[in-house]
Amino acid sequence: MKAKSYHLILNYQQEFTVIMSKIRILPEQLANQIAAGEVVERPASVVKELVENSLDAGADRIEIEIEGSGTRMIRVIDNGEGMDEDDILLSIERHGTSKINTEKDLSAITTLGFRGEAIPSIGSVSRLTIISRPHGKELGTRVLVNYGKLLEVTEYGSRYGSSFEVRNLFGNTPARKKFLKTQRTELAHIDETVKNYALCSPDITFILRINNRETLHLSNTLSPRQRLTRLINYHGEFLEINHSQGQSQVQGYLVPPDKVSAGPSKLRVFVNNRAVRDRMIVHGVAEGLRSFLMKGKNPAGFIHLTLPAEEVDVNVHPAKQEVRFRQAADVHRLISSGVSNAMEKEQNRLRAHVFGGERRAATTRIPIGVEERKTSDSPEPFHMEPLPFERVEKSDEHESSIPLQENGIITTSEPAPTPLPPVENEKVLTENDVSTGKNGHNLRIIGQFDDLFIFCRNSEGLLVIDQHAAHERLLYEKLKKQYVENRIPKQNLLFPETVELSLVQIQLVEKHGEQIEKMGFSIREFGEAPISSLPFLHLL
């Protein structure tokens, strides 16, 4: 009986062991690679994490060097506080961080990096070299990590600060490497990442070198407005945003609504010095520009929100690219109010500029016998001449009307004009209509002012046409028709026009190359630089 009981117990233990073996603890190396899949999406993600570490280290100069598309080499050098040997070894361990001590710290995060996942995740999918020297130390430390394995720790002569060099990114995970885009696309993402942090950190010098060519150099002497001007290549006036409500504040510079171009939004958004993607913030900006922003166009510029740390949750996205607000409605209201107030100030400034001087009312009545004296301040009297292609005919009744004099004031007894028949069908005004004075709108062209406006009338009243805008519309309709029929004429220039484009613009040109060719432009890439120049054969 005892032997039999013992046998049953043994079988039960074996059965229990088989069931429990379905649950395992992942090896450290495999766990790091899984975390790398969340944190390191592409080379730009590596640049983002390393730049954030440099900013948290108090650096005022950050240099980024890229080779290839970023998979060959990424190097980030800063002059921050640096790390000693013990700190470097702890930084390559999972969840090694100097920014979170207690659970309470998670509810009020004030640093860009805090999880301690970036460096071990990067080291698990690359050959990582860390060189760092803290202030006050005679020598620095050099650490080599090869796909998650620590190879070497030595003393090293270096300058103050830290240097992170990432080589052969995704070399041990070729499947991940296949999902990367073209070299130009990956470089465009890196370029955009560096520009974002350069905008939200104006007191820090940023230098970007791609394949040994310096493509970006923003000194800490440049103001945010100057940096934005250089980064988006817009040299006009900006709409300045500066609005606060309690401890919350919204600041930024926006391109005026009449200067923005159609297409995707070019608005950069920052929350507590962190570049984020947030539709609610973009909607708040668009709401503030309501009735000023044309349909199909999106705001451009940058918006920086400064909120109490406990009002923002930055721990909702593995790569910290999205945030969540405790009081989202209040944040939306703060943004829309700030933008609308700035637009109101701009409108008042424009009114003062246009209508600030003294003007004589257009309805001033001049007594007979009193000679008008012109002064240098007096505006030119309104004068409207008939168009050369149509002479306004006067009826017998008009010709017989005689000006009367009453109390020294000129008056007339002209009867009201007879209304024209109502408009039956609305038609597009054509170039032939303008040249002949005939059209399908039942409009009668009665005059022209200063070669700018054409005055017409119909049964509904007076219509004023902007002559230049009408001409532009006629040209647009003509080109649109030629585009649809695929017969836009073109002629090659003797000397092609060369323009320099950013990486993002080059990417758009490649994407819409067929449509550009159809519009009459021939494009040839020129130069081997990462930010290339493209010669355009201009449309004639």
Residue 155 CB partners (closer than 8 Å, separation 6+): 139, 140, 141, 142
Length of the chain: 540
Q: How do the pLDDT tens digits run along the chain, 540 residues long?
A: 444 444 444 444 444 444 456 777 777 777 766 666 667 889 999 999 999 999 989 999 999 999 999 999 999 999 999 999 998 998 888 777 766 666 666 666 777 867 667 888 899 899 999 999 998 899 999 999 999 899 999 999 889 999 999 999 999 888 888 888 888 889 999 999 999 999 989 899 999 999 999 999 999 999 888 898 888 888 888 999 999 998 999 999 999 988 887 766 788 999 988 888 888 999 999 899 988 888 778 888 999 999 998 888 887 776 667 888 989 999 999 999 999 999 999 888 888 877 764 444 444 433 433 444 444 444 444 444 444 444 444 444 444 444 444 444 444 444 444 444 444 443 444 555 544 444 556 778 888 887 788 888 888 888 888 888 888 888 889 888 888 888 888 888 788 888 777 777 777 888 888 888 888 888 877 765 444 334 343 333
CATH of the domain at 296: 3.30.230.10
Q: Report the 10 Å Cβ neighbour count for 156.
A: 15
Q: Within 13 Å of residue 184, how many CA atoms lie on the same side as its CB?
A: 17
Range of the domain at 40: 25-101+110-222
Is 507 within a domain?
yes
Residues 56 and 137 in one domain: yes
Dihedral angle over CA of 458, 462, 466, 472, nearest 10? -20
Two tokens, residue 139: 């020598």
Residues 130 and 261 in one domain: no
Residues 478 and 514 in one domain: no
Number of domains composing the chain: 4
Instruction: Give residue 237's pLDDT.
Output: 87
Residues 516 and 432 in one domain: no
Sheet of 522-523, strands arranged across: 497-500, 533-537, 522-523
Two tokens, residue 289: 């520009």
* Beta carbons of 496 and 524 less than 8 angstroms apart: yes
Chain CA centroid to CA 226, Å:
15
Is 202 within a domain?
yes
Instruction: Give residue 33's pLDDT.
Output: 67
Q: What is the H or E stretch that residue 130 is in?
A: strand 127-133
Residue 177 CB partners (closer than 8 Å, separation 6+): 71, 169, 170, 171
Tell me which residue of 249, 422, 421 sits closest to 338, measured CA to CA.
249
Q: What is the H or E stretch that residue 142 is in?
A: strand 140-146
Instruction: Give residue 231's pLDDT.
Output: 86
Instruction: Give residue 525's pLDDT.
Output: 76
Q: Is the pTM of this model over 0.85?
A: no
Residues 130 and 54 in one domain: yes
Choose the final residue of a domain: 222, 245, 280: 222
Separation between Cα atoms, residue 333 and residue 278, nearest integer Å = 15
Residues 481 and 505 in one domain: no
Residues 315 and 459 in one domain: no
Is 444 within a domain?
yes
Burial (CB count <10 Å: 0-12, 13-18, 19+), residue 315: middle
Residues 194 and 271 in one domain: no
Is 19 within a domain?
no
Tell me which residue of 470, 238, 224, 187 sits closest to 342, measured CA to CA.
238
Is 390 within a domain?
no
Please list the residues that pair with 242 across neighbouring strands.
251
Side chain identity at 186, as an amino acid letter? E
Residues 37 and 119 in one domain: yes
CATH of the domain at 120: 3.30.565.10
Separation between Cα atoms, residue 366 and residue 107, nearest integer Å = 75
Choose the final residue of a domain: 349, 384, 411: 349
Please list the residues that pair with 241 across neighbouring strands.
252
Residues 432 and 502 in one domain: no
Separation between Cα atoms, residue 160 and residue 141, nearest integer Å = 11
Is 294 within a domain?
yes
Residues 216 and 236 in one domain: no
Residues 237 and 156 in one domain: no
Instruction: Give residue 433's pLDDT.
Output: 52
Choose the final residue of a domain: 191, 222, 253: 222
Is 95 within a domain?
yes
Is 450 within a domain?
yes
- DSSP letter string, 344-388: HHHHHHHHHHHH-S----TT--PBTT-PPPP-TTSPPPP--B--T
